[in-house]
Amino acid sequence: MRSKFDEQLVMLNDALIGMAGVVERAISDAKEALINQDIALAEKVIASDDEIDNREEEIEDLCLKLILRQQPVASDLRLVSSILKMITDLERIGDHATDISEITLLLANEEYITNLERIPQMAEATIKMVNSSIDAFVKRDLDLANQVIEYDDVVDDLFVTVRDELIEMINKDPGHGAQAVDLVMIAKYFERIGDHATNIAEWVVFSITGTHKKHQHIH
């Protein structure tokens, strides 16, 4: 019975890694599409949202079957329930990558009012956070999970910098207002992606220790 359960846990881990890989690709492609004003790549990101949703459903199904058929003990149940929470955050990250790409399409024919240097930095930071949080889960690495939680400050600080710079641009030239608001929204979506990656890391901590911060960053 236990070996069957362990087999299915390996399948779950693999499915989770696969879903995270698609999500990381979506963030990366959303960043590239934005920088290069690449309409085809932005549309690819939007199309990939269905695959992310499907993967979430498949993992959810695997989790529920495992709970119903294997009668897991408390620690196993904690592990499976953590995965159920983590895939919800991964799915929302996919939604935000789509949101970013939809704005990219709106801006595709405009010249950018500013150098986008910091927004791609936010994207890279969030990809690192998603990758490390899943890595922490698979390796049962509490230190790595806590590093991800702390690293969210980097993304938050970048967001504040981007927002303040764009507000200053609007004050200097109100004609830049519409695009500046769109770029602030993109930065905000990347900041939310960081929050969801933090949530994932907090569920990793819960899966290992049984304790969880009561305050969730994103509900």
CATH of the domain at 79: 1.20.58.220
Task: Report if residue 55 sits inside a domain.
Answer: yes
Closest CA to 217 of 200, 203, 204, 199: 199
Residue 36 lies in a domain: yes
Number of domains the chain is built from:
1
The confidence score (pLDDT) of residue 219 equals 43
pLDDT by position in tens, the chain (length 219): 577 888 888 999 999 999 999 999 999 999 999 999 999 999 999 999 999 999 999 999 999 988 888 777 888 889 999 999 999 999 999 999 999 999 999 999 999 999 889 999 999 999 999 999 999 999 999 999 999 999 999 999 999 999 999 999 999 999 999 999 999 999 999 999 999 999 999 999 999 999 887 544 444
> b/e per residue, 114-150, with b = 16+ CB within 10 A?
eebebbebbbebbbbbbbbbbbbbeeeeeebbeebbe
Give domain status of residue 78, yes or no. yes
Amino acid identity at 161: T
In a domain, 189, yes or no: yes
For the whole model, what pTM was predicted? 0.93
> Residue 131 falls within a domain, yes or no?
yes
Angle subtended by helix axes 2-36 and 39-70, to nearest 10: 170
Assigned domain for 218 exists: no
Segment (H or E) for 113? none
Taking Cα atoms as reference points, which of 84, 82, 197, 81 lies closest to residue 131? 197
Examine residue 219 and state whether it is found in any structural domain, yes or no: no
pLDDT of residue 173: 93
pLDDT of residue 217: 47
State the Cα–Cα distance between residues 7 and 195, nearest whole angstrom: 32
Q: Could you give the residue ranges of the DSSP H alpha helices within 37-176?
A: 39-70, 74-106, 118-139, 142-172
- What range defines the domain where residue 93 resides? 2-209
